[in-house]
Amino acid sequence: AEDDVDFSLSFLLQNMAVKATDEGRLVGVSIGSPVYPEYLADLLKAAEVAKTRKWRDNLLLLAHLQRSANVLDRFRVDRCYDIEILAVHPDYRGHSIGRRLFEEQFRQGKILGYPLASADCSSYFSARIAERVGMECVAKLAYADYRDDSGVQLFRPKEPHLEVQTFAKVL
């Protein structure tokens, strides 16, 4: 959907994106975004005006995760560098590219003056990478437990992706 692309691309201009290439070919990307005291309210406002139901559901999930992990209060900081997206081309998985993208995001967060990095890992594999780079799991949400007001499960990824895990690391 156009609105989720606009959301993600907006962080490219803030020096919050890193890429991995192989002989000029893009093989991985990670995009960060700032978390600040009004972030939860801003996510909820964006969900109200989302152009698609899918994007609205994604924003509401992000808001739920922000509320439950509460990394700003938990770590007593006023802002956080959130690693929003981590993607590696399937042909290049298993070569530590995800780990290197995380580590580069930590460096970028430090350069930009953030005291903390966080990541909502919706993939089993990205959660394992987060653990390997020293992030601490501060919250978990099973997809089966996240439902709309009618009780319908909104996200049904295939195994082994059973939960979203929120991780944090002091920079």
Beta bridge partners of 21: 26
> Each residue of 28-50: pLDDT tens digit?
999 999 999 999 999 999 999 99
In this prediction the pTM is: 0.88
Domain ranges, residue 145: 2-170
Q: What is the CATH number of the domain that holds 52?
A: 3.40.630.30
Domain count along the chain: 1
What pLDDT is attached to residue 34?
Answer: 93
- Which residue spans within the chain are E strands per DSSP? 17-22, 25-35, 80-88, 116-121, 136-142, 163-170
Contact 83, 119 (CB under 8 A): yes
pLDDT tens digits, one per residue of 95-134: 999 999 999 999 999 999 999 999 999 999 999 999 999 9
Q: Are 166 and 69 in contact (CB under 8 A)?
A: yes
Q: Is residue 6 within a helix (H) or strand (E), and if so which, with residue range?
A: helix 2-9
